[in-house]
Chains A and B, each alone.
Chain A
């Protein structure tokens, strides 16, 4: 179980895609899963976002429903089958963003306690200005929740993004130590970052390779 974390515009999805390509080319069975992607809560999420009905707590719980559903269908079965699961964002996203929105840190940890601890969490660390630059060059506008507009820090989306994502960044830094996330300098050139990523992944795949050679399932995570 390998996951990537980082604020919007940190480049984590790009890095995960490159990692997936590499793993597949080397013949590993890989399954990819993404934060907030299950069909189950899509309608509630759209409705809540469009009509601005979401509170920090319902925002958090809807993502938890999505996660629980993906844990059942997207994460546990491939792990049990000995596959490598790649997750674009994991529970740490909730621990950082939801707490930045105001929910209690212990509460959100309880909500996500059915989750497995990943074998490797890569944290793509980037200063706010660089992530902003990346996001704004790709599309004209920042998304409402991405900019934390719901928190009401500023009426200006860019300023709101800066303030909200700074909070998120600060919490991510604390989580890095708490959960042993591996920080990666997300300001570096893309291929250089990918080299670091692949080295880290290779390390944790040593046991997995050994087990596969012995005909056992891969190094599936144990519940914590």
Chain B
């Protein structure tokens, strides 16, 4: 990454025209990666480290908006929506969090860590056969993150993790796509397509890709290294130490 990267925030498309332009001194860091790759575990470890470094942190996560989370859960329980309807629900959830969580936190100078960002919708919609241009236009109200960390994994390494974790679920296995009647086969096919799409997006949007097959502490070290690099470039301040808080950093 360029050491002196420009720190101006940009909208992805038309943005939110009714919002007065305000200074957004905070930092928006998105963590992307497929289901079960370990995003939330890593985010949990990032927060105390950043706070120890003196940064105030705000978390936001896909489908967690107060306005829509219940509706999305209900819709998933009903298994009855088309990809278009789902995309719009996710977009509404995203917009709610953007305006009520992300923007106010950035304005207050926080580091916002987003568990998934619009790229998740881009990846899923491509796999599900929605018009990719349409998805991107809908998310034109989004703010472009300052840094996107992509947790990359191959489907072979992902499978045992998911099985030993919370197990394969209907949606994460892409059963709604009717790729097959077998959960395992469907998971394998759906997730490899998703991962292919994430990797394509990674090069298109310049994600910082990290190897998610690494042990949890090493992966954390990698993430901290990239965040520290970004922050020093953005602030012109010395890099925070990334080996604190009991998590070792191996390079």
Interface residues of chain A, those whose CB is within 8 Å of chain B, are: 40-41, 43-44, 47-48, 53-58, 61-62, 64-65, 68-69, 71-72, 101-104, 106-107, 110-111, 113-114
Closest Cβ–Cβ distance, residue B240 to chain A (whole Å):
34
Closest Cβ–Cβ distance, residue B232 to chain A (whole Å):
34
- CB contacts (< 8 Å) of B75 on chain A: these are 40
- CB contacts (< 8 Å) of B165 on chain A: these are none
- CB contacts (< 8 Å) of B74 on chain A: these are 43
Q: Is B67 interfacial (CB 8 A cutoff)?
A: yes
- CB contacts (< 8 Å) of A111 on chain B: these are 88, 91, 137-138
Do the beta carbons of A57 and B71 come within 8 Å of each other?
no
4 smallest CB-CB distances across A and B, nearest first, come from: A102-B18, A110-B137, A61-B92, A104-B14
Question: Which residues of chain B in 131-156 are interfacial with respect to chain A, using CB atoms and an 8 Å cutoff?
Answer: 134, 137-138, 140-141
Q: Is B96 interfacial (CB 8 A cutoff)?
A: yes
- CB contacts (< 8 Å) of B179 on chain A: these are none
> In the complex, A48→B96 CA distance in Å?
10
- CB contacts (< 8 Å) of A58 on chain B: these are 67, 92, 95-96, 99
Closest Cβ–Cβ distance, residue A190 to chain B (whole Å):
36
> In the complex, A58→B100 CA distance in Å?
11
Do the beta carbons of B85 and A69 come within 8 Å of each other?
yes
Do the beta carbons of A65 and B96 come within 8 Å of each other?
no
Closest Cβ–Cβ distance, residue B83 to chain A (whole Å):
10
Contact with A along B109-134 (1 / 0, CB 8 A): 00000000000000000000000001
Residue in B closest to A57 when the chains form the complex, CB atoms: B95
Instruction: Find the residue from A53, A55, A71 having the highest chain B CB count within 10 A.
Output: A55
Do the beta carbons of B81 and A69 come within 8 Å of each other?
yes
Do the beta carbons of B85 and A101 come within 8 Å of each other?
no
- CB contacts (< 8 Å) of B95 on chain A: these are 55, 57-58, 61
Question: In the complex, given contacts A69-B85, A107-B140, A114-B134, what are 5 additional A-B residue pairs having Cβ atoms less than 8 angstroms apart?
Answer: A40-B71, A55-B96, A65-B85, A102-B17, A111-B137
Interface residues of chain B, those whose CB is within 8 Å of chain A, are: 13-18, 66-68, 70-71, 74-75, 81-82, 84-85, 88-89, 91-92, 95-96, 98-100, 134, 137-138, 140-141
Do the beta carbons of B84 and A53 come within 8 Å of each other?
no
Do the beta carbons of B84 and A114 come within 8 Å of each other?
yes
Do the beta carbons of A40 and B96 come within 8 Å of each other?
no
Which residue in B17, B92, B100, B137 is a CB contact (below 8 Å) of A65? Answer: B92
Do the beta carbons of B91 and A55 come within 8 Å of each other?
no
- CB contacts (< 8 Å) of B81 on chain A: these are 40, 69, 72
- CB contacts (< 8 Å) of A71 on chain B: these are 84
> In the complex, A44→B71 CA distance in Å?
7
Do the beta carbons of B82 and A68 come within 8 Å of each other?
yes
> In the complex, A98→B96 CA distance in Å?
16
> In the complex, A80→B100 CA distance in Å?
41
> In the complex, A82→B70 CA distance in Å?
36
Do the beta carbons of A53 and B67 come within 8 Å of each other?
yes
- CB contacts (< 8 Å) of A72 on chain B: these are 81-82, 84-85
- CB contacts (< 8 Å) of B91 on chain A: these are 61, 64, 111
Closest Cβ–Cβ distance, residue A63 to chain B (whole Å):
9
> In the complex, A29→B164 CA distance in Å?
55
- CB contacts (< 8 Å) of A48 on chain B: these are 67
> In the complex, A61→B16 CA distance in Å?
13
Which residue in B66, B71, B138 is a CB contact (below 8 Å) of A53? Answer: B66
Which residue in A40, A47, A57, A62 is a CB contact (below 8 Å) of B141? Answer: A57
- CB contacts (< 8 Å) of A54 on chain B: these are 67
> In the complex, A48→B137 CA distance in Å?
24
Closest Cβ–Cβ distance, residue A54 to chain B (whole Å):
8
Closest Cβ–Cβ distance, residue B126 to chain A (whole Å):
16
Do the beta carbons of B18 and A47 come within 8 Å of each other?
no
